[in-house]
Amino acid sequence: MRINHILDKLNSSIKESLDDKQLSQKEYAKRIQVSESAFSNYVTGIREMPYGTLSQVSEDLNLDLNYIFKPNTKKATVLDKDEELLIKALRNLTEQERKKVYLGLNTLIYAKKK
């Protein structure tokens, strides 16, 4: 796999994750204490992202680096800590309790669509 392809995959994954989290590059750069221009240069591929920054970004944004750096790897769904806690809580519920939770979620989702 060529390095440009890997960097394109990394940069698009970062942009997608920021969009999902409704964060601008400017807001995120400030959060990780990197200048806005440096972060923009990382995401556009103008500058190489230092390892420490890459590590922090991948952890913060739940990026699957195996998907990015290893060819023929399927993209994994990476859960944040809150999502993991919700799944664990759901698994500990009875079938009837789960049905109540699903009913409540469907009500919220439907109301949000209006």
- At 63-90, the pLDDT tens digits run 877 777 776 666 666 677 888 888 888 8
Q: Provide the residue ranges of all domains of the chain, joining segments of one domain with +.
A: 3-69, 81-113
Measure the CA–CA gap between 7 and 45, rounded to whole angstroms: 7
Tens digit of pLDDT for each residue in 2-53?
667 778 888 888 998 898 889 999 999 999 999 999 999 998 888 888 989 9
Query: Residues in the chain, how many?
Result: 114
* pTM for this model (two decimals): 0.60
CATH architecture of 3-69: Orthogonal Bundle (1.10)
- How far is Cα 49 from Cα 47, in angstroms, rounded to an integer? 6
Quickly count: other Cβ atoms within 10 Å of residue 64's Cβ.
16
